[in-house]
Amino acid sequence: MHNHITIRWAGQMRPCLEGLRTARLGHSGLSTQCRYRSWAGLKAQSSSHPSIPKHQFSSVLSRQNNELPLQSSDASAQTQKLPPKKQGPYRSWALFNIAGLSAVIIAAVVLKSAGSGNNDKKIINKTSFSPFTIVSKEQVSPTAFILSIRAGNDADSSARGSAQAFREAWDHGLWSVEIKQPQLQIARHYTPLPSLSTLGSSSSPADGNEDELRFLIRRVDGGEMSTYLSKLRVGDAVWLRGPHLGFDVERRLGDAGRRVVFVAGGTGIAPALQVARRVLDVGGEGGEAEEKPTVSILWANRRADDALGRQRQAGSTSTGNSWWFSWWQRGDEATSSKITARTVAETSFAQQIQDLERRHPGHFRVSYFVDEEGSFIGPQDLRIGLADGQDTSTLRELLPPAKTCAWHSPAALAKLPDDDDASRRDTECKCGQKSTQEASSSKVGANLIYVSGPDGFIEAYAGPKRWYAGTEMQGPVRGVLGRILTNGDRAEAEGNWLVLKL
């Protein structure tokens, strides 16, 4: 989950927004060097391509004004050079009016197009950054906070436009946006958390403020962007670009996929909640409860304070407030009274996890692993996670996919250049084409394992992504999961698991 834009500055060059626009950061360690153009360069370009050559323009004028046919009775009429004709007051007045009118029309057209351009830019889009405002900031651990931002007020057309873009992204399921640091001109991806509007209700999310986004962000030591974001206050502006759509969870599960396992490190939990929302709240609507897929999250954090939503052991005397909370609260009174914080157990993020567990019993589970407590996600934990306490023989029910199926074949997935499944919407699933008998009698699909976290975390569990001809591919599955899934004796190896690296 690492990305990087490098902007190089030279002489009096302006920050290169164009480079930022064209750079698709992707979910990778891609480092994009900005292409820039100086204002001087632009000037030189325009003056070297005048629309009407100057010499032609002046000769046309001189012909009109100075060379007139002779107005005489002389039969041998000929042209001769005359002194410039004096213009009467009426003609000057008419010319003056025409010029004035033209100026007004041109100004109106320019203003109108500038106005609509500005409005368009305010609506979130993939090419330019649009302004949003921070509406709340909640510290949830010593290093992590939840930032909520909004596009504008409801009457604002830009807010409605952004809300529409977000609705489509939520409908897709897995997505992110880029946020930029305006001074350094760098941008990083962040994953919106599902809305809190469903807390305590069993209905599917009909998001309250649809132009509002929430992010779980961790301040990384020495991290340019996360440190910048951690210093922002309620009311400050942030600049967003996107949405960038990711893997299509519904399509990859198909009719037959029944399990989603998330191996998440730190803030890598955010996409897990997006997928849980898509699969359980939206996809599960109206279906039989037992037909709903299970979403099992194995969540690793370095510190206990970051294991949000973990239930305290029975008999624990802890109030849920750790040392950092009282320390942070004291500091906060002095700095910003607008940041809201509750106990560790009461953070909105913890409540969101507990709410999912309550609403989807047996279908949503988070298992916590904390480095400082000596618990790490090991091969055995992964096997249990893949089985999710159920009979592993059900995994064998899935049809093996066609080797070339872009949606369900691990071999095809390894060669995919990015995770934007929306861009391959028209690609057909080839699994059903293997044999008409199989196709008519069986459902097709895959069980999904997402691995989401910093680059090192992804490499350890699923192997690195691969670069080929300047493009980053998913690459084959290696690491701990590679070893488990290639062990042909085990049911999980036959369960048609697709490993998706985020």
Ligand X SMILES: Cc1cc2nc3c(=O)[nH]c(=O)nc-3n(C[C@H](O)[C@H](O)[C@H](O)COP(=O)(O)OP(=O)(O)OC[C@H]3O[C@@H](n4cnc5c(N)ncnc54)[C@H](O)[C@@H]3O)c2cc1C
State the Cα angle at 296 between 291 and 300, rounded to 5°.
Answer: 170
Q: Does 454 bind ligand X (CB under 6 A)?
A: yes
From 224, 236, 332, 459, residue interacting with ligand X (rule: CB under 6 A): 224
CB of 140 to ligand X, least distance (A): 12
| Range 261-280, binding ligand X (CB under 6 A) | 266-267, 270
Q: Which residues contact 238 (CB under 8 A, 6 or more apart)?
A: 131, 132, 133, 134, 147, 149, 179, 229, 232
* Closer residue to ligand X in complex, CB, 158/452: 452
From 23, 134, 225, 449, residue interacting with ligand X (rule: CB under 6 A): 225
Q: Does 464 bind ligand X (CB under 6 A)?
A: no
Q: Does 2 bind ligand X (CB under 6 A)?
A: yes
For the chain, give me the number of helices (H) and strands (E)? 16, 16
Q: Does 1 bind ligand X (CB under 6 A)?
A: yes
Q: Which residues contact 460 (CB under 8 A, 6 or more apart)?
A: 479, 480
**Is 461 within 8 Å of 287 (Cβ atoms)?**
no
CB atoms within 10 A of CB 475: 19
Displacement of CA 301 from its chain's centroid (Å) = 23
Q: Does 191 bind ligand X (CB under 6 A)?
A: yes
Distance CA 303, CA 495 (A): 33
CB of 148 to ligand X, least distance (A): 13
Q: Does 459 bind ligand X (CB under 6 A)?
A: no
Distance CA 486, CA 477 (A): 9
Quick one: angle between helices 348-359 and 269-276, nearest 10? 40
Considering CB under 6 A, how many residues would be counted as binding ligand X? 25
Q: Does 188 bind ligand X (CB under 6 A)?
A: yes
Buried b (16+ CB within 10 A) or exposed e, 353-388: bbbbeebbeebbbbbbbbeeeeeebeeebbeebbbb
Taking contact as CB under 6 A, which single stretch among the options 111-119, 222-230, 322-330, 472-480 is the one that binds ligand X?
222-230
* Closer residue to ligand X in complex, CB, 268/445: 268
On the question of a cis peptide bond just before residue 243, with omega within 30 degrees of 0, the verdict is: yes
Displacement of CA 92 from its chain's centroid (Å) = 59
| Residue, CB closest to ligand X | 223
From 218, 252, 292, 408, residue interacting with ligand X (rule: CB under 6 A): 218
CB of 376 to ligand X, least distance (A): 16
Q: Which helix (H) or strand (E) holds 121?
A: helix 89-122
| Range 140-179, binding ligand X (CB under 6 A) | 176
From 32, 139, 226, 274, residue interacting with ligand X (rule: CB under 6 A): 226
**Is 444 within 8 Å of 401 (Cβ atoms)?**
yes
Pairing of strands 259-265, 192-193: unpaired
**Is 475 within 8 Å of 463 (Cβ atoms)?**
yes
* Closer residue to ligand X in complex, CB, 189/363: 189
CB of 488 to ligand X, least distance (A): 33
From 122, 189, 277, 292, residue interacting with ligand X (rule: CB under 6 A): 189
From 15, 142, 223, 400, residue interacting with ligand X (rule: CB under 6 A): 223
* Closer residue to ligand X in complex, CB, 273/295: 273
Displacement of CA 191 from its chain's centroid (Å) = 6
CB of 243 to ligand X, least distance (A): 11
Burial of residue 284 (CB within 10 Å: 0-12, 13-18, 19+) is: middle
From 215, 364, 368, 461, residue interacting with ligand X (rule: CB under 6 A): 215
Taking contact as CB under 6 A, which single stretch among the options 58-66, 212-220, 304-312, 432-440 is the one that binds ligand X?
212-220
CB of 287 to ligand X, least distance (A): 29
CB of 158 to ligand X, least distance (A): 23
Q: Does 30 bind ligand X (CB under 6 A)?
A: no
* Closer residue to ligand X in complex, CB, 147/402: 147
Binding-site ranges for ligand X (CB under 6 A): 1-4, 27, 176, 188-191, 215-218, 220, 222-227, 266-267, 270, 454
